[in-house]
A and B are shown apart, each in its own frame.
Chain A
Amino acid sequence: MIPSGLTALIYLVSASLFILGLKKLGHPDTAPRGNQLSALGMLVAIAVTLFDRGILSYQVIIAGVFVGSAAGLWMARTVKMTAMPQMVALLNGFGGAASLLVGGAEFLKVETLAVDTDITIQLSLLIGAVTFTGSVIAWAKLQEVMTGKPITYPLQKIVSSILLLGILGLAVYQVVTPGQQLQSFYIVIAISLVLGVLFVIPIGGADMPVVIALLNSYSGLAAAMTGFVINNSVLIIAGALVGSSGIILTTIMCKAMNRSLGNVLFSAFGSVTALGPGKGVEERTVRSISVEDAALQLAYARLVIVVPGYGLAVAQAQHQVRELADLIEKKGGEVKYAIHPVAGRMPGHMNVLLAEANVPYDKLYDMDQINDEFQRADVALVIGANDVVNPAARSDPTSPIYGMPILNVDEAQSIIVMKRSMNPGFAGIQNELFFHPRNSMLFGDAKASLTGLVNEVKSL
């Protein structure tokens, strides 16, 4: 048996390892080590907990640890990189559900609770339950088990507010009434679970990066609340770290779309089909280019900037892009990748997909790093990206995406947009870039076109 003072100090060691681990995540070279340190911190915390004097039997623990570890390992090993957002969403949900169960068990354990413990339990039930069902809905939308379109219901904000007030009322009732109030305990859990569902269903698939980041923050908050319930500071510290991380990522995503969080959560973006005032879009023509001509441009370019969008990942063509880049570099050109913060289905998703295809990370540039370089680029190659390269975001105040920061692709000497057809992007917004005098369209499936380009450049 370890004395409780020493236990607290060992928990401090594991909290310090989490902090060091997050610090080392600041650079790709040190990041793997950082993750290992953080995992070591977790191992220390688990090990010291097993010596806790409150633990009387180990059968349930061993069974639970075995089942959970095996399932987690299987998920982590088999998940495809394109499915990473779903996996993170699901893991967020599991964290929330675990907090919900711990809070629930703590509530049922004692007949009379101190007022402050009771309050923290109610909070951990609420946050845990909302995180759980919200994440499951986010998972279902990303996995396309349910429609990615926003599902709206009347009086959205009012219904949510009433439910929240209901929970608040019941929680106060529980806190002030002595003894266990089982009925209202279960009702609080039920309403919280419903609230999680209602919170995510009105949000469109394209806004999921924001939702996952926000739920990530909630899962941290849920852990911190559990820390308050069981009076353990390592949970509070770890939960606060994750909570702030999720909030930062949420803010970054919102800024990249030039929307407020409230707008993302309540406006059902993507269900709007109305276009800005017609500007004779139909009469304008676009120039299309053949694979041969595009290959010729790319082969003799000094600087090519590739702008990948989620369409590239859907076509599973990351490897073809890298092959093409290798060939261009062999011919003496330089290739850089411009990554918009919302390229992909979660923050940083596109970077992982390209890294998986062996694209070196020092060729991946953020929007701010690369935007001034487009004027120097001989060719900007846009693959499966649409709204993030639409100059209307800069110039047309009537456009729904006006004000959103974009990649300055239109400044390049020549632009090649690879696209399946002329269909507009998710918000139904026509892309001004397609009609740009220096732009040409390479129509077709991204993977097929890229394979064609690789073969053409090879033979030059």
Chain B
Amino acid sequence: MSEGIILGIVVFTLATFLGFELIHRVPPTLHTPLMSGSNAISGITIVGALIVAGGGHGWVSMVFGFGAVVLAMMNVVGGYVVTDRMLHMFKKKPEEK
């Protein structure tokens, strides 16, 4: 195995532990925005999608890349915007009318 993969496994394992610590503190009230917000984070695949789409490795790669960019961007933009919309609904006291 190459060093890159080993390092990747180390990073992955540590980040998983960190994830468990962080997410355990999120109260059940916020579990839906947590899901949509973390969903947006998983749109980080956009990084790979951009590299593939701009790589110029023939048209098959371009088609794959275009598809990946569209899907990942929907994931990112849709996820963050809808999470923001939800989180602004959570208020301590009803607005004064």
Interface string of B9-23 (1 = CB under 8 A from A): 001110111111011
Size of the chain B interface, CB-CB below 8 angstroms:
87
Q: Of all chain A residues, which has the CB nearest B20?
A: A244
Please tell me which one of the listed residues A54, A220, A230 contacts residue B54 in the complex, with CB atoms under 8 A apart: A54
User: Closest CB-CB distance, A300 to chain B, in whole Å?
Assistant: 23
User: Closest CB-CB distance, A301 to chain B, in whole Å?
Assistant: 20
Task: Kindly identify, within residues 42 to 88 of chain A, every residue whose CB is under 8 Å from any CB belonging to chain B.
Answer: 42, 45-46, 49-50, 52, 54-58, 60-61, 63-65, 67-69, 71-73, 75-77, 79, 81, 84, 87-88
Cβ A25 vs Cβ B37 within 8 A: yes
Q: Of all chain B residues, which has the CB nearest A41?
A: B41
Cβ A61 vs Cβ B42 within 8 A: no
Given contacts A244-B16, A348-B34, contact A76 B42 (CB under 8 A): no
Interface string of A324-364 (1 = CB under 8 A from B): 00100000000000010100001111011001101111101
Q: Of all chain B residues, which has the CB nearest A100?
A: B68
Please tell me which one of the listed residues A38, A39, A69 contacts residue B73 in the complex, with CB atoms under 8 A apart: A69
Cβ A35 vs Cβ B80 within 8 A: yes
Cβ A91 vs Cβ B75 within 8 A: yes
Interface string of B33-69 (1 = CB under 8 A from A): 1111111111111111111111111101110111111
A432 touches B (CB below 8 Å): no
14 contacts between A and B (CB under 8 A): A28-B87, A28-B92, A31-B33, A35-B37, A55-B55, A64-B70, A76-B80, A87-B78, A95-B75, A105-B60, A220-B42, A230-B51, A245-B23, A352-B32
Q: Which residues of A contact B (CB under 8 A)?
A: 18-19, 21-23, 25-29, 31-32, 34-36, 38-39, 42, 45-46, 49-50, 52, 54-58, 60-61, 63-65, 67-69, 71-73, 75-77, 79, 81, 84, 87-88, 91-92, 94-95, 97-99, 101-102, 104-106, 108-109, 114, 116, 120, 212-213, 216, 219-220, 222-224, 226-246, 248-249, 252, 322, 326, 339, 341, 346-349, 351-352, 355-356, 358-362, 364, 366
Additional 13 contacts, C-beta under 8 A, given A26-B27, A57-B56, A75-B82: A28-B29, A45-B47, A64-B68, A64-B73, A71-B70, A98-B43, A120-B5, A241-B41, A242-B41, A351-B32, A358-B91, A359-B94, A360-B92
